[in-house]
A = this chain, B = another copy of it.
Amino acid sequence: MMTITITAFERSPDGGKGLARDLRVRWALEEVGQPYDVRPVSFVAMKTPAYRTLQPFGQIPAYTEGDLVLFESGAIVLHIAEHHEGLLPRDANGRARAITWMFAAVGTIEPPILELVTAKLIEGREPWTAQRMPLVEARIHTRLQELSNHLGDGDWLDGAFSAGDLMMVHVLQRLKPSGILDQHPSLAAYVARGEARPAYQRAFAAQLAINALP
């Protein structure tokens, strides 16, 4: 076995709430029972040319395994899911549908949530932000209602828990501080089911331990 190493924030901007994208990769590795090392990087280090050879956009996580270097949490989780049992259905059609939900998480649900994060963190003091915020939130509610309609009374998006759920749960977690998730009770319960998984708990504790260091 080759050692798996991921990069993570030396100090996460969320102080250890688990919202940084390394959590997705940690969670996937915990689900399939693969050990991994963590290389913490500072905000300064991750913008250096050396780090950008691992991650061209200067972000975390980057993933190394022997001479393989990957980035993008979705691609890393898919790589893990393809090489270990537990995150993708065995039948070809179910597998393709689980991958569809991975792309839906980052391509359809996450962009309006990122807009909210940007509006708060980057444009929070701009004169237009208070007036604009209802529009930003409305776009999120539209997507969450559609997702909630699809989920119905199911536990997961398509049968058993998959890498699609892992990505979706983590994308939705970003909404918890805003109160928006609680307005969609079935999705709040869906996120809670994800968080209750032992693998999630181990991943969360591991990132919190780094952020709790003095």
> Quick check: which of A97-105, A174-182, A188-196 contacts chain B, the rest being far away?
A97-105
Residues of B with C-beta under 8 A to A103: 72-75, 78, 103, 106
Return the chain B residue nearest A92 by Cβ.
B68
Interface size grouping (class) on chain A? 35 or more
Say whether A79 faces chain B, with CB atoms less than 8 Å apart.
yes
Contact of A71 among B67, B72, B100, B102 (CB under 8 A): B100
Residues of B with C-beta under 8 A to A3: none
Return the chain B residue nearest A94 by Cβ.
B68
Residues of B with C-beta under 8 A to A128: 126-128, 131-132
Which applies to chain A's interface (DSSP): helix, strand, loop or mixed? helix
Say whether A15 faces chain B, with CB atoms less than 8 Å apart.
no
Contact of A72 among B104, B127, B143 (CB under 8 A): B104
- How long is the Cα–Cα vector from A96 to B108 in the complex, in angstroms? 22
- How long is the Cα–Cα vector from A174 to B150 in the complex, in angstroms? 29
Residues of B with C-beta under 8 A to A165: none
In the complex, besides A75-B99, A111-B115, A127-B131, 5 extra interface pairs with C-beta distance below 8 angstroms are A70-B100, A76-B100, A110-B111, A111-B111, A126-B132
A interface with B by C-beta (< 8 Å):
52, 56-59, 67-76, 78-79, 93, 96-97, 99-100, 102-104, 106-108, 110-111, 114-115, 118, 122-123, 126-128, 131-132, 135, 139, 143, 146-147, 149-150
